């Protein structure tokens, strides 16, 4: 039995670091585990231009005490009014590495998102020309569509057509949660990739709803039926090159999750590698963990892999019930559980 795994330093291709005091509380958890992270722009107000994204990047670096070992990779928030020239300028200048498509009202901080992909075709055409990745929250927002079907319907109504119309566009289908999405990405061309979160590898919807409602298992897209979870585990651990690690760590204050209308989001940054390693171990796929965590993402984003390594050892790690994020109490993913892998500092 393998008791130690050493892999190239990994990256997290989807994080929410928030802003202000909370940023100082949560960013170090991501920086401890990962060399780089794709930072989501769904702040209030959203990061919709070069000046805003650039200033946010400076705040992240300041929050980390300019930790030279961590690089935030910034993203632009697309709206119906996004200017293609601004997108191209910011990408050329290295201010952002990708742009994020939130369908309007799909999730937290998406009120200013895109109301119809047709409205941003000039932006997407420009992105296809310059090779800039589009990161997609893939859910329809039509009130007639059941929340558990929203990802599959997005593939049918929007994503399939977008990729057919713009095959050169580089797309990351983020935090996929269904067998339909896993099949779609596996069958798509070289320009389409996906990320998978630890929670969608561990949890199905029963974990959220049976025996009481568990707000800390609630995120968007919401966890689905067991057969979807199994399809995601299969894809993640298969060695397939266009799937990679993206935690979607999304901290919310404990009292805002444990509420009559609880916020969507799971704070998984503190034990992310331990959580993923557990899945790869359970699937007898530890030999494929490095590709998922450290190699496939850089290959898709056309970036070098990181130098240096991290090591995980087979040892029990107790996850605390609550973590103080610079004054904000947040319940982490796996709170109160003992995981079987420990990241060596």
Pick the closer one to Zn ion by CB: 79 or 268: 268
Copy the structure tokens of residue 66. Answer: 């300019």
- Assess 141 for contact with ligand DOR (CB under 6 A): no
Q: How far is the CB of 68 from Zn ion (least distance, A)?
A: 26
- Pick what 219 binds: ligand DOR, Zn ion, none; C-beta below 5 to 8 Å, kind-dependent: ligand DOR
- Pick what 107 binds: Zn ion, ligand DOR, none; C-beta below 5 to 8 Å, kind-dependent: ligand DOR
- Assess 109 for contact with ligand DOR (CB under 6 A): yes
- Pick what 37 binds: Zn ion, ligand DOR, none; C-beta below 5 to 8 Å, kind-dependent: none
Pick the closer one to Zn ion by CB: 88 or 264: 264
Task: Spell out the SS3 assignment of 89-155.
Answer: HHHHCCCCCEEEECECCCCCCCCCCECCHHHHHHHHHHHHHHCCCEEECCCCCCCCCCHHHHHHHHH
Q: Report d(CA 178, CA 183) in Å as an integer.
A: 9
Q: CB–CB of 12/247 below 8 Å?
A: yes
Cross-strand partners of 99: 76, 134
Which of 248, 274, 281, 290 binds Zn ion (CB under 5 A)? It is 248
Pick the closer one to ligand DOR by CB: 137 or 229: 137
Q: How far is the CB of 3 from ligand DOR (least distance, A)?
A: 34
- For residue 187, what are the contacts with CB-CB under 8 A and spacing of at least 6? none
CA-to-CA dists, residue 21 to 46, 109, 158, 223, 337, angstroms: 17, 18, 37, 30, 28
What residues are labeled active site?
248
Which of 46, 265, 297, 298 binds ligand DOR (CB under 6 A)? It is 265
Closest CA to 48 of 109, 116, 133: 109
Q: Which stretch binds Zn ion (CB under 5 A): 30-38, 62-70, 231-239, 248-256?
A: 248-256
Q: By CB under 6 A, how many residues form the interface with ligand DOR?
A: 11
Q: Are strands 243-245 and 328-330 parallel, antiparallel or unpaired?
A: unpaired
- Assess 78 for contact with ligand DOR (CB under 6 A): no
Q: Report d(CA 206, CA 222) in Å as an integer.
A: 11
Judged by CB under 6 A, the chain residues 154 through 213 that form the site for ligand DOR are none
Q: Report d(CA 215, CA 19) in Å as an integer.
A: 23
Q: How far is the CB of 42 from ligand DOR (least distance, A)?
A: 5
Which of 8, 14, 16, 24 binds ligand DOR (CB under 6 A)? It is 16
Cis peptide before 343 (omega within 30 of 0): no
Binding mask 220-259 for ligand DOR (x = CB under 6 A): x-----------------------------x---------
């Amino acid at each position: 039995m393998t008791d130690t795994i050493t892999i190239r330093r990994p990256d997290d291709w989807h994080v929410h670091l928030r802003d202000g005091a909370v940023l100082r509380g949560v960013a170090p958890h991501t920086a401890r585990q990962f060399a780089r992270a794709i930072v989501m722009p769904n702040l209030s107000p959203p990061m919709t231009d070069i000046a805003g994204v650039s200033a946010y990047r400076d705040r992240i670096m300041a929050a980390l005490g300019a930790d030279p070992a961590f690089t935030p990779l910034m993203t632009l928030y697309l709206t119906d009014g996004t200017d293609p020239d601004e997108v191209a300028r910011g990408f050329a200048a290295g201010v952002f590495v990708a742009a994020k498509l939130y369908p309007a009202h799909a999730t937290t901080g998406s009120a200013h998102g895109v109301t119809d992909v047709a409205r941003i075709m000039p932006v997407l055409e420009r992105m296809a020309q310059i090779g800039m990745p589009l990161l997609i929250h893939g859910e329809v927002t039509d009130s007639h569509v059941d929340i558990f079907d929203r990802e599959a319907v997005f593939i049918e109504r929007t994503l399939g057509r977008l990729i057919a119309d713009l095959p050169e566009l580089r797309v990351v289908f983020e935090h996929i949660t269904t067998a339909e999405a896993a099949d779609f990405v596996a069958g798509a061309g070289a320009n389409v990739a996906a990320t998978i979160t630890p929670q969608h590898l561990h949890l199905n919807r029963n974990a959220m709803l049976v025996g009481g409602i568990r707000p800390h298992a609630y995120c968007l897209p919401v966890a689905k039926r067991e057969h979807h979870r199994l399809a995601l585990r299969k894809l993640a651990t298969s060695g397939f090159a266009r799937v990679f690690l993206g935690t979607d760590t999304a901290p919310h204050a404990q009292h805002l999750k444990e509420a009559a209308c609880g916020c969507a989001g799971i704070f998984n940054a503190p034990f992310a590698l331990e959580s993923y390693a557990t899945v790869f171990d359970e699937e007898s796929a530890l030999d494929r963990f490095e590709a998922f965590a450290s190699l496939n993402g850089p290959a898709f984003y056309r970036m070098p892999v990181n130098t240096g390594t991290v090591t995980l050892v087979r040892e029990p790690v107790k996850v605390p019930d609550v973590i103080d994020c610079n004054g904000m109490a947040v319940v982490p993913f796996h709170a109160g559980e003992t995981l079987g892998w420990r990241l060596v500092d």
